[in-house]
Structure 1
Amino acid sequence: MTLSSDSRPSAAAGTPTGPATAVPVDALRAAVENNFDSTLNTLCSLVAIPGIAWSSFDASQLDRSADAVAKLATAAGFPEVRILRCNKEDGTPGGPAVVARRPAAAGKPTILLYAHHDVQPPGDSALWETQPFVAQERDGRLYGRGAADDKAGVMAHLGAFAAAKEVLGEDFGLGVTLFIEGEEEAGSPTFRTFLETYQEELRADVIVVADSSNWQVGIPALTTSLRGLVDGTFEVRVLEHAVHSGMFGGPVLDAPTLLARLIATLHDDEGSVAIEGLVFRDEADVDLTEEEFRRDASVLDGVQLAGTGSISSRMWTKPALSIIGIDAPAVNVASNTLIPSARAKFSMRLAPGQDPQAAMDALEKHLTAHAPFGAQVTFTPGEMGTAFQTDTKSKAASLSLWALGEAWGVPAVETGIGGSIPFIADLKELYPDVQILVTGVEDPDSRAHSANESLHIGDFKNTVVAEALLLAGLNTETQRD
């Protein structure tokens, strides 16, 4: 199925064209404004639920979170609301997802609104300036775990749906499916199984994934590219067992030292990834200054930035390789021995257009070829995720860019994101004709996953307005086989 209108709205703020001419912009904006205090208060109540989809946390809180979202969907007017889950490969249950459906009227398309209700663990409480699960408003921002990632995405969907339903009334024939996942922060272990099990219930013409970021406070963005991902581990072994460092040290180097030497080969002298065969692109429509990047990333004074080309391309369209964990004796339990083996975990982000398996193979080839001093290197591949690029000429993307610009009052920009959302590849594979839009409520200071996570309240309101405009614009479309 495709959307049949041949006209597209302008990507900048201003007078709408095409299907957007029928969008009651002022009425939708007023509806969002009138209900915004309630929307924000409801978000605060969701932040208070510590729903974490990790096995080491209380699963009942995750169920409580799903139940709260389901009740909100019912109250919003979805006629069909279910809490669904699938089992993981080991037979244990996956996280609870909320699926709410409002069927399309005859000839109208369907939009699927995705977000997730589970959150990251709070981490070290000493680093928080507020209680992580008590939402607190300060200086125009709302602080709390999940305030931005991604309970604000949940409430953006519900707030936009409520505004469209209120303003359009009986003319609102667009089909709307709400899909609120419950295990995204745990890596979405049952996402593919879930899609395959409920493929027809989730089928749509347009999908909005509300789990990304705007360019900066006051400037909206449509995320048009995401890097892919491969991860795994590699181990360096030099001895069959540990030996006394005084008696045997000198003729043989310990495994942590050789691991460090191997890790050092992964980047060149400028800090660019030094793996042959990877895709590199220096493409970005907008860019950060070095000062802006240093501030947003909290780079310490004196630390030089790595890589070449624009900063945006280094974050969005070039590979990045990080060592995210090392297994070796901790300092406080170290003994005077030569360590026989040491292991590192890597995370490599991939440029759009890069085949993940080819990247994994290239990294394995590099590591085995650069084994220092003949050490044994064992490579263990982990997860793989495909990069994503939006077709910005699609009707849904053009309409979304117009809606964002109209809501903020400034033109929206097209940005990439250095992170990855691997499940988008699953969506594209199972629904090859769907138009996927990646939006979000975060900004560079939201600190998702970190202490003092926060949401800019003004931009959150604009996000709700933009999505309401998108729903109204899609409501003017018709569907054809």
Structure 2
Amino acid sequence: MTVTRDTAPEAANADAPVRAAVEAALPATIADLCALVRIPSVSWDAFDPARVAESAEAVAALVRGLDVFDEVVVTRSGIPGTAELGQPAVLAHRPARNGRPTVLLYAHHDVQPPGQDIDWESTPFEPTVRGDRLYGRGAADDKAGVMAHVASIRALAETAGPDFDLGIAVFIEGEEEFGSRSFAAFLEDNRESLRADVIVVADSNNWDVDTPALTVALRGNVTFRLTVRTLDHASHSGMYGGAVPDAMMATVRLLASLYAEDGSVAVDGLTSRDVPAPEYTEEQLRLETGLLDGATPIGHGPLLSRLWSQPAITITGIDAPSVANASNTLSPVVSVRLSTRIAPGQPAAEAFQALEAHLRAHVPYGASIEIDDVDTGEAFLVDDSGWAVPLALGAMTDAWGKPPVNVGIGGSIPFISDLVRVFPEAQILVTGVEDPDSRAHSPNESLHLGVFKRAVLAEAFLLDRLNRRTGTPAAPAR
């Protein structure tokens, strides 16, 4: 059956009530977002899982309140290889009717740890508006993504009536910030409820506060703990330093071997990939990252190539004596958390093998090393050949008043490879509510309220246009 397409005048006429509905509900939408931000739903093992469960119930209540779904449940799936259950997720579903497509809306309600309160200008879990930004842990990543879905469905129900024809599945995950360990099992357990023609992942960035973006490339990740030992007990540094290598010295030398002189990655077997990119200046990099005067960017090639399509290695944590607790001893053991971003196109298992081989080949002074707590995620390249991509780009253009930029992201959303594996015919659209100054994962995380409004509006336009789309969509070529 041939799929009809909206003409520009028809789309513009239909957009007016959707725009009015989004704008009228915006204060309530932001209030709901603030209520979610107040729940410290950190999914890491060291934090209270009851708060993640509380967050899931709060999200479920919002989704139930839309009165459009046949079923809304809070559920968990098992973590493969363990006897544990993953964190609670929210699942909702309504079937499509009259030849309309089905869209799956994904976001996550868990958040990163807040870090030290002293690094925040306001309390991490007390949402605070300063200027045009809402500050708080999860305000951008990704409780704003949750509310973008809720608000866009609310606008569709108001303008089309709650008995609309579009099929919608909602999946709000509870452990994305802790590796999505039960994600693959969750997809298998709920395959039929989640099956869709289009999948919208609201967990990415926009080009700037005035320009939307569709993410078309994501780096993968390999993270693990590296432990270095040189002694079976601590020894006096004055008595034995200079002859006996301590673990910190060996660790520093080993970590330095991962980098070339220009700061790029020097690990044989880690690959790069060419990804088209817009112009991006060092001035913009400095503005967005806070790079200090005198400090220089690292690596080689165009800046966005370094951020989107080359590997990067970061030491994100270290277990060693603190400065305040330092004694004059040789440290027998040091552990670090090593986070590697891998270029699109390279399998994560292959990248891990390259990293492990490098570390074992460069161990100094006969030290002993151990690699454990390994976590991997696959990189992703969007197939933009399907009918849903131009529909999404048009919705973004009309909502923002300017066309979107196709971007790569230096971060990772590893579970997208699972979505592609389980639902190979679905078209995946990676969108988001963040901007370059959102500082996700960092102190003073924030959401630009203008960006949020336009992101909600773009998704509401997309849902409305999908709801008015007749015929059975053809599967994209793969």
Give the TM-score taking structure 2 as reference length: 0.92
- The one-letter amino acid of 1:424's match is I
Residue deviations 1:176-202 (CA, integer Å, cap 9, x gap): 111111222222222122111111111
Structure 2 distance, partners of 1:6, 1:387, is: 34
> 1:237 — aligned with what?
229
Q: Is the 8 A contact 1:22 1:473 kept in 2?
A: no
How many residue pairs get aligned? The number is 471
Structure 2 distance, partners of 1:54, 1:146, is: 14
Residue deviations 1:216-242 (CA, integer Å, cap 9, x gap): 101100111110001113333334444
> 1:479 — aligned with what?
472
Residue deviations 1:287-331 (CA, integer Å, cap 9, x gap): 321111112111122111100111111111100011122333333
What secondary structure sits across from 1:24 in the alignment? helix
1:357 paired residue among 344, 349, 358: 349
> 1:70 — aligned with what?
60
> 1:470 — aligned with what?
462
275-284 or 176-185, larger mean C-alpha shift: 275-284
Q: Is the 8 A contact 1:66 1:96 kept in 2?
A: yes
Provide closer, same or farther for how the CA distance between residues 23 and 233 of structure 1 changes in structure 2, counting only shifts above 3 A: farther
- The one-letter amino acid of 1:154's match is V
Residue deviations 1:415-448 (CA, integer Å, cap 9, x gap): 1111111111111111111111111101111122
Q: Is the 8 A contact 1:109 1:174 kept in 2?
A: yes
Structure 2 distance, partners of 1:287, 1:227, is: 19
Q: Is the 8 A contact 2:17 2:159 kept in 1?
A: yes
78-87 or 395-404, larger mean C-alpha shift: 78-87
Deviation, 1:264, is 1.0
Structure 2 distance, partners of 1:115, 1:4, is: 32
> 2:51 — aligned with what?
61
Structure 1 distance, partners of 2:453, 2:355, is: 44
What secondary structure sits across from 1:332 in the alignment? coil
364-373 or 457-466, larger mean C-alpha shift: 364-373
- Is 1:103 aligned to residue 101 of structure 2? no
310-319 or 132-141, larger mean C-alpha shift: 132-141
> 1:134 — aligned with what?
126
What secondary structure sits across from 2:65 in the alignment? helix
Give the TM-score taking structure 1 as reference length: 0.91
Structure 1 distance, partners of 2:231, 2:49, is: 43
Structure 2 distance, partners of 1:38, 1:342, is: 49
- Is 1:29 aligned to residue 19 of structure 2? yes
2:407 paired residue among 385, 410, 415: 415
Q: Is the 8 A contact 2:3 2:473 kept in 1?
A: no
2:166 paired residue among 168, 174, 183: 174
Provide closer, same or farther for how the CA distance between residues 49 and 205 of structure 1 changes in structure 2, counting only shifts above 3 A: same
Structure 1 distance, partners of 2:238, 2:131, is: 59
Q: Is the 8 A contact 1:81 1:99 kept in 2?
A: yes
Provide closer, same or farther for how the CA distance between residues 466 and 305 of structure 1 changes in structure 2, counting only shifts above 3 A: same
147-156 or 363-372, larger mean C-alpha shift: 363-372
Residue deviations 1:142-198 (CA, integer Å, cap 9, x gap): 222222111111111111112122223388311011111122222222212211111
Structure 2 distance, partners of 1:339, 1:135, is: 42
Structure 1 distance, partners of 2:109, 2:319, is: 32
Structure 1 distance, partners of 2:193, 2:145, is: 21
Structure 1 distance, partners of 2:11, 2:327, is: 73
What secondary structure sits across from 2:194 in the alignment? coil
Residue deviations 1:112-138 (CA, integer Å, cap 9, x gap): 001112222332222222232232222
- The one-letter amino acid of 2:465's match is G
Q: Is the 8 A contact 2:4 2:470 kept in 1?
A: no
Q: Is the 8 A contact 2:179 2:375 kept in 1?
A: no
Provide closer, same or farther for how the CA distance between residues 44 and 295 of structure 1 changes in structure 2, counting only shifts above 3 A: same
For residues 174-323 of structure 1, the aligned pairs below 5 Å read 174-323=166-315
Residue deviations 1:44-73 (CA, integer Å, cap 9, x gap): 222222222234333333222222221211
Structure 1 distance, partners of 2:156, 2:133, is: 26
Residue deviations 1:366-412 (CA, integer Å, cap 9, x gap): 12222223434444471111001111222112211111111000110
- The one-letter amino acid of 2:38's match is A
Structure 2: gaps (5+ residues) = none
Deviation, 1:23, is 7.3
Q: Is the 8 A contact 1:245 1:337 kept in 2?
A: yes
> 1:426 — aligned with what?
418
Provide closer, same or farther for how the CA distance between residues 358 and 58 of structure 1 changes in structure 2, counting only shifts above 3 A: closer
Structure 2 distance, partners of 1:23, 1:384, is: 47
Q: Is the 8 A contact 1:284 1:312 kept in 2?
A: no
> 1:12 — aligned with what?
none
241-250 or 141-150, larger mean C-alpha shift: 241-250
Deviation, 1:22, is 8.3
Q: Is the 8 A contact 1:279 1:354 kept in 2?
A: yes
Over aligned residue pairs, what C-alpha RMSD do you find? Answer: 2.3
Structure 1: gaps (5+ residues) = 10-14
Provide closer, same or farther for how the CA distance between residues 50 and 369 of structure 1 changes in structure 2, counting only shifts above 3 A: closer
- The one-letter amino acid of 2:280's match is L
Residue deviations 1:233-276 (CA, integer Å, cap 9, x gap): 33333344443333333233322112111111111111110111
394-403 or 326-335, larger mean C-alpha shift: 326-335
Structure 1 distance, partners of 2:348, 2:164, is: 42
Deviation, 1:90, is 4.5
- The one-letter amino acid of 2:35's match is S
For residues 120-159 of structure 1, the aligned pairs below 5 Å read 120-159=112-151
201-210 or 325-334, larger mean C-alpha shift: 325-334
- The one-letter amino acid of 2:43's match is A
What secondary structure sits across from 2:317 in the alignment? strand
